[in-house]
């Protein structure tokens, strides 16, 4: 019973992490259509910046997170403006943009390794508590993950529904050509979603820094989970991506009941495979 | 000497990987990110079989090919049915679990430590345990793999692949089974990549998971892009350049692990730069021209009607009978109650205002949409559940309003690819019965040229479709439709946007087709034309047939005049 509680809790906390990653990716992919593969290493860069600010510069964690999120947003925007945008202007087919994002992926990932080294980075200056439910336990960091997912999720939902920019983003996600025709500035919106999406990933990255620590390979797993969540959730649906993020985490976590931890990616794959066979349009279908 | 031989061996191995990847993305337009997986699968199959079961080289390789092709098929199947993003994500997932499996199935794969002590290839009792000795084998295998890839590229199957890459809907509309084609090329590409894997396992004598991460796939992709997609020699050149380029790092003193990362950064930068400066790569796509030269002089210009295969049966006999067809998208009913008969030797004009459901009707009849109600009988056979390519094979073909030509293929290739029942579309025949394929190809080229001549495009036979005038494009659409051999032809606005001369020419072609006993249905707005060629008009509005009859009677109808003719 305690094991079940522990696994459910893990699913919840990890689900919050996946949901954050999926939201950021879904914002960018759903709006601009760019398969932003370098989303993974950009998220990693953000987490490393937070680490450097805390561990090397001695900043308090909250200040480091604010600066780190801002820097990651800037990184995301730069990757759009300098890498993807020129291809969009040139009218390149989507697959060329995808290949460029793979190029950026491999460059950033290895630059992280060169600059920071390949050992695991952790911070020990931030103290947090461990809480118990029977024999099951969780930490304040994990609570933070859930809160962050909740706040960011609600914030984005509100932004997309209520604000002028948010509505424009939804219009662009729905039909880019029409959006251009009615005078929506798609370049500005792309910059905005790249900034937002990357910032969201940096929030996830900061918390993972406290929970697990960092290594240069972390980007692949992140973009993998995010991409799968977006497909399983239904392309174009932020809500679907969040649900799928939690679903993946729960299936992974409950799978550990029987299956050793190391097979996480395989479990994700099985969920994806099942969905592609049974419901290829994803959890939330769009008309 | 050893060092040079080693570099050349790596060029051979990456040459195999890059050419096999090129088959997939350059020819088939299939974007998958699993090449490192196929490479790994070949390498581990060799490692496991050789160390655990003591099996020797050629057999480890063959087993690896079979296993790898099977993995490729199994994984790709669900994704192929739905669309391109799905294949990217599912191959990405395959990449992720590959590392999972390699790291965690310790008894089999050795986990993070990999499999050491893989015995070298032994040829005629001599172990090939150093680069100099191994190089000839690597070169021969690379040449073999390239020959296999080249043969595929140059075959009718390769032509079908390129057509599919140009336009999937049009490839289906000329009778190609896209899922089958994609799976075949996927399996073949995977199998070839695994050859490089088994070679590297025996060569290095060691395999571990680190060599098969997503970076490896990106590296191979960079080689293909650099050399030029659709150019197999280019892939070899790309492999050579990207293997040699970072060798310069050897002469700068950086620690090993840093040098590795610097190498990866170089690959990434090369990839982005080449995409920016020269997205088509160093070499242009290889042109495989069918052998028209020998046949061309014997084909008369403005060819006779004999180019058209006469359909069997009595004129006036009902060939296609669609009853109460309905189609709704969500809550919108695009077609409500469409009943239409097509008869041998007759031309039916489908008219009606924009949004009346004319093109939807074509999509239903040709299998591109599945009706939500009603039935389509073709010679008494129910077509409603068939896929587009099956409908074409049955004998009903359609054209598209927006033409959907295979723009990078030549005129004669556009027609050739549409001819039915080509032995060269079967990969087994391509490799095992080259004589049969060659003979069939010769006959098909002659047939394609006859058709080109019939529509008046003989002079342009070897021209790339992208260079045609609009009128010529329209003629090519008809030629392609004819080539399918179908006896029911649906033409979506074959005459719109043309000058009177061309309209007359196409009308003549249509009448010839009707005389050859084909059942024809056209969507058209030009009433003069309709009066000129059609035997019957079916007027549809809001998804249902309002009225039908001979053109003259219908055009006198006052209500119709008000609603449509204004």
Contact present, A172 and A14 (Cβ < 8 Å): no
B372 within a domain of the structure (yes/no): yes
Question: What is the Rg, in whole angstroms, of the alpha carbon atoms belonging to chain A?
Answer: 19
Contacts of B84 in chain A (CB under 8 A): 95
Q: What percent of chain A has pLDDT over 90?
A: 56
What's the Cα-to-Cα distance from B98 to each of A32, B169, B437, rounded to whole Å? 30, 33, 38
Is A35 in Cβ contact with B88 (below 8 Å)? yes
| Residues B362-405: tens digit of each pLDDT | 999 999 999 888 899 998 889 999 999 999 999 999 999 999 99
Q: Considering the domain boundaries, does residue B250 fall inside one?
A: no
Could you read off the pLDDT of B217-269 as tens digits, one per residue?
999 999 999 999 999 999 999 999 999 988 877 777 777 778 888 889 999 99
Answer yes or no: is B278 within a domain. no
Three-state secondary-structure class, residue B341: strand
B83 pLDDT more than 80: no
**Least confidently predicted of A139-143, A268-272, B126-130, B392-396:** A268-272
- Are the Cβ atoms of B93 and A273 closer than 8 angstroms? yes
For residue B301, is it within any domain?
A: no
Look up residue B399 and give its DSSP letter.
-
In a domain, B293, yes or no: no
Range A73-96 average pLDDT:
92
Q: What's the average model confidence in pLDDT over B525-548?
A: 86
**Rounded-to-integer distance, Cα B193 and Cα B191, Å:** 5
Please give the pLDDT value at position B254. Answer: 74
B271–A103 C-beta distance less than 8 A: yes
Using CA atoms, how far apart are residues B535 and B548, in angstroms rounded to an integer?
11
- Distance from C-alpha of B363 to C-alpha of B384, rounded to nearest angstrom: 11
Of A111, A228, A262, the CB nearest to B89: A228
Q: Looking at CA atoms only, how far is residue B32 from chain A in angstroms?
A: 11
H or E element that contains B548: strand B544-549
- For residue A102, list chain B residues with Cβ-Cβ distance below 8 A: 33, 218, 221, 268, 271
Torsion angle, CA of A168/A169/A175/A177, rounded to 10 degrees? 70
Query: The domain that contains B526 carries what CATH number?
Result: 3.40.50.300
Q: Is residue B28 helix, strand or coil?
A: coil
Residue B296 domain-assigned (yes or no): no
> Is 50 exceeded by the pLDDT of residue B438?
yes
Query: Which phi and psi angles does B204 have, rounded to 5°?
Result: -80, -20
Same-domain check for residues B197 and B346: no
Are the beta carbons of B395 and B488 closer than 8 angstroms? yes
Pick the closest to residue B340 from B548, B556, B494 (CA basis): B548
Residue whose entry in the numeric block shows the structure tokens 């800037």: A74
Phi, psi (5° rounding) for residue B374? 90, 180
**B91-115: burial string, b at 16+ Cβ within 10 Å, e else:** bbbbbbbbbbbbbbeeeebbbeebb
Tokens of B21: 């990847």
Which among A95, A111, A265 is the nearest to B100, CB-wise?
A265
Which residues in A lie closer than 8 A to residue B101 (C-beta atoms)?
266
User: Is the C-alpha dihedral spanning B174, B175, B178, B183 positive or negative?
Assistant: negative
Which ipTM value was assigned to this complex?
0.91
Residues of B in contact with A35 (CB under 8 A): 85, 88
| Whether A220 and B96 lie within 8 Å, measured CB to CB | yes
How much is the pTM?
0.90
Cβ A282 vs Cβ A234: under 8 Å: yes
Last residue of a domain, one of B177, B210, B243: B210
In a domain, B324, yes or no: yes
CB contact under 8 A, A99 and B221: yes
Give per-residue pLDDT as tens, B15-43. Answer: 999 999 999 999 988 888 899 999 999 99
The CATH class given to the A2-278 domain equals: mainly alpha
DSSP codes joined into one string, chain A:
-HHHHHHHHHHHHHHHHHHHHHHHHHHHHHHH----TTHHHHHHHHHHHHHIIIIIT---HHHHHHHHHHHHHHHHHHIIIIIIHHHHHTT--HHHHHHHHHHHHHHHHHHHHHHH-SSPB---SS---EEEETTEEEEHHHHHHHHHHHHHHHHHHHHHHHSHHHHHHHHHHH-HHHHHHTT--HHHHHHHHHHHHHHHHHHHHHHHHHHT-B-TTHHHHHHHHHHHHHHHH-TT-HHHHHHHHHHHHHHHHHHTTTS-GGGHHHHHHHHHHHHHHH-TT-SS---
Whether residue A98 and residue B279 make contact (CB cut-off 8 A), yes or no, is no
CB contacts, 8 Å: A266 with chain B? 97, 100-101
Between strands B347-351 and B536-541, the pairing is: parallel
Domain boundary pick from B161, B186, B210 = B210
Q: What are phi and psi of B334, to 5 degrees?
A: -75, -40
Contact B275 A227 (CB under 8 A): no
Contacts of B81 in chain A (CB under 8 A): 280
Picking from B265, B268, B277, B408 by the largest number of A CB atoms within 10 A of its own CB, the best residue to mutate is B268
Whether residue B193 sits in one domain with residue B49 = yes
Question: What are the extents of the domains in chain A?
Answer: 2-278
Instruction: Report d(CA B228, CA B230) in Å as an integer.
Output: 6
DSSP state of B120: P
Q: Which of B168, B189, B210 is the last residue of a domain?
A: B210
Cβ contacts (< 8 Å) between A287 and chain B: which residues?
330
Selected residue with higher pLDDT from B561 and B354: B354
Confidence at B297, pLDDT banded by 50, 70, 90:
low
List all residues 6 or more positions away from A110 whose beta carbon is below 8 Å from its beta carbon.
A216, B261, B262, B264, B265, B268
Query: Residue B90 pLDDT more than 60?
Result: yes
Q: Percent of chain B at pLDDT above 90?
A: 48
Q: Quick one: pLDDT at residue B564?
A: 67
Residue B269 belongs to some domain of the structure = no
Residue B308 pLDDT greater than 70, yes or no: no
* pLDDT of B170 above 60: yes
Give the chain B residue nearest A89 (alpha carbons): B276
With H, G, I as helix, E, B as strand and everything else as coil, classify residue B521: strand
Contact A244, A16 (CB under 8 A): no
Confidence at residue B303, expressed as pLDDT on a 0 to 100 scale:
55
Q: A106, A226, A251, A272: which to substitute to probe chain B, counting the most B Cβ within 10 Å?
A: A106
pLDDT of A287 over the 50 cut = no
Mean pLDDT of B116-137: 88
Q: Measured between alpha carbons, how far is residue A128 from residues A61, A68, A125 in Å? A: 12, 20, 10
Nearest 5 degrees, angle CA B169-CA B170-CA B171? 90
Instruction: Report the C-alpha dihedral over residues B419, B421, B423, B428, rounded to 10 degrees.
Output: 120
C-beta of residue B549 within 8 angstroms of C-beta of residue B555: no
Taking one residue from A and the other from B, the number of pairs with CB-CB distance under 8 angstroms is: 122
Query: Residue B441 sits in which domain range?
Result: 318-565
Pairing of strands B318-329, B373-378: antiparallel
Structurally, chain B folds into a number of domains equal to 2
Contact residues on chain A for B213, CB-CB shorter than 8 A: 220
Cα A231 to Cα A199, A204, A269, B378: the distances in Å are 21, 20, 12, 39
- Cα-flanking dihedrals φ and ψ of residue B357, to 5°? 110, 20
Of A82, A90, A96, nearest to A33 by C-alpha is A96
């Amino acid at each position: 019973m305690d094991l079940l509680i522990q696994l459910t809790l893990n699913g919840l906390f990890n689900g919050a992490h996946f949901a954050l990653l999926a939201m950021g990716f879904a914002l960018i992919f759903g709006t601009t259509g760019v398969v932003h593969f370098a989303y993974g290493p950009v998220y990693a860069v953000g987490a490393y910046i937070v680490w450097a600010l805390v561990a090397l510069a001695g900043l308090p964690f909250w200040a480091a997170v604010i600066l780190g999120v801002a820097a990651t947003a800037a990184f995301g925007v730069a990757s759009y403006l300098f890498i993807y945008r020129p291809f969009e202007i040139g009218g390149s087919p989507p697959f060329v943009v995808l290949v460029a994002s793979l190029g950026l992926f491999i460059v950033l990932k290895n630059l992280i390794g060169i600059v920071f080294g390949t050992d695991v980075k952790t911070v020990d200056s931030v103290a947090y508590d461990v809480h118990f439910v029977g024999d099951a336990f969780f930490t304040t960091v994990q609570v933070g993950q859930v809160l962050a997912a909740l706040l960011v999720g609600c914030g984005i939902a509100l932004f997309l529904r209520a604000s002028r920019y948010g509505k424009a983003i939804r219009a662009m996600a729905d039909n880019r050509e029409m959006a251009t025709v009615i005078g929506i500035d798609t370049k500005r919106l792309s910059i905005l979603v790249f900034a937002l999406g990357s910032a969201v990933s940096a929030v996830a990255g900061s918390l993972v820094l406290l929970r697990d620590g960092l290594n240069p390979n972390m980007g692949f797993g992140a973009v993998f989970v995010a991409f799968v969540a977006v497909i399983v959730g239904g392309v174009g649906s932020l809500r679907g991506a969040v649900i799928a993020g939690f679903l993946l985490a729960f299936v992974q976590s409950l799978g550990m009941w029987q299956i050793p931890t190391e097979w996480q990616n395989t479990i994700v794959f099985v969920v994806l495979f099942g969905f592609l066979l049974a419901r290829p349009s994803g959890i939330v279908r769009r008309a | 000497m050893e060092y040079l031989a080693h570099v050349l061996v790596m060029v051979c191995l990456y040459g195999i990987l890059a050419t096999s990847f090129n088959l997939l993305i350059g020819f088939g337009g299939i974007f998958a990110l699993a090449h490192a997986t196929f490479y790994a699968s070949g390498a581990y199959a060799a490692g496991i079989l050789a160390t655990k079961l003591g099996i020797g080289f050629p057999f480890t390789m063959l087993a690896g090919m079979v296993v790898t092709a099977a993995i490729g098929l199994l994984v790709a199947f669900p994704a192929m049915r739905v669309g391109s993003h799905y294949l990217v994500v599912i191959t990405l997932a395959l990449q992720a679990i590959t590392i999972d499996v390699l790291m965690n199935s310790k008894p089999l794969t050795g986990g993070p430590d990999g499999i050491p002590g893989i015995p070298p290839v032994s040829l005629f009792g001599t172990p090939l345990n150093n680069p100099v000795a191994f190089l000839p084998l690597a070169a021969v295998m690379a040449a073999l793999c390239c020959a296999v890839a080249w043969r595929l590229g140059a075959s009718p199957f390769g032509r079908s692949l390129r057509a599919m890459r140009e336009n999937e809907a049009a490839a289906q509309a000329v009778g190609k089974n896209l899922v089958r084609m994609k799976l075949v090329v996927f399996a073949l590409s995977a199998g070839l990549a695994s050859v490089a894997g088994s070679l590297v396992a025996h060569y290095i004598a060691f395999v571990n998971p680190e060599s098969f991460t997503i970076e490896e796939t990106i590296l191979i992709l960079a080689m293909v892009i650099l050399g030029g997609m659709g150019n197999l020699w280019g892939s070899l050149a790309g492999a050579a350049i990207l293997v040699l380029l970072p060798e310069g790092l050897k002469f700068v003193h950086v620690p090993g692990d840093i040098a590795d990362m610097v190498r990866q950064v170089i690959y990434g930068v090369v990839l982005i730069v080449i995409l920016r400066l020269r997205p088509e790569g160093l070499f242009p796509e290889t042109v495989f021209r069918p052998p028209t030269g020998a046949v061309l002089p014997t084909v008369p210009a403005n060819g006779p009607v004999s180019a058209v295969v006469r359909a069997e049966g009595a004129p006036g006999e009902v060939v296609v009978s669609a009853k109460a067809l309905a189609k709704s998208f969500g809550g919108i009913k695009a077609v409500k109650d469409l009943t239409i008969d097509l008869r041998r030797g007759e031309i039916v004009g489908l008219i009606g205002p924009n949004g009346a459901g004319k093109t939807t009707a074509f999509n239903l009849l040709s299998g591109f949409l599945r009706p939500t109600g009603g039935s389509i009988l073709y010679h008494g056979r129910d077509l409603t559940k068939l896929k587009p390519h099956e409908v074409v094979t049955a004998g009903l073909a359609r054209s598209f309003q927006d033409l959907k030509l295979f723009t990078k293929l030549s005129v004669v290739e556009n027609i050739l690819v549409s001819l039915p029942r080509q032995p060269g579309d079967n990969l087994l025949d391509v490799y095992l019965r080259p004589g049969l394929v060659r003979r069939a190809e010769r006959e098909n080229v002659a047939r394609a040229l006859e058709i080109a001549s019939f529509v008046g495009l003989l002079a342009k036979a070897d021209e790339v479709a992208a260079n045609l005038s609009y009128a010529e494009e329209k003629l090519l659409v008809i030629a392609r439709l004819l080539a399918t051999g179908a006896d029911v032809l649906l033409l979506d606005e074959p005459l719109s946007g043309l000058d009177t001369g061309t309209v007359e020419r196409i009308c003549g072609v249509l009448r010839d087709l009707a005389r050859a006993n084909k059942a024809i249905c056209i969507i058209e707005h030009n009433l003069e034309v309709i009066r000129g060629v059609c035997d019957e008009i079916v007027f549809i509005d809001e998804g249902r047939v309002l009225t039908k009859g001979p053109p003259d009677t219908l055009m006198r109808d006052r209500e119709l005049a008000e609603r449509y003719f204004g």
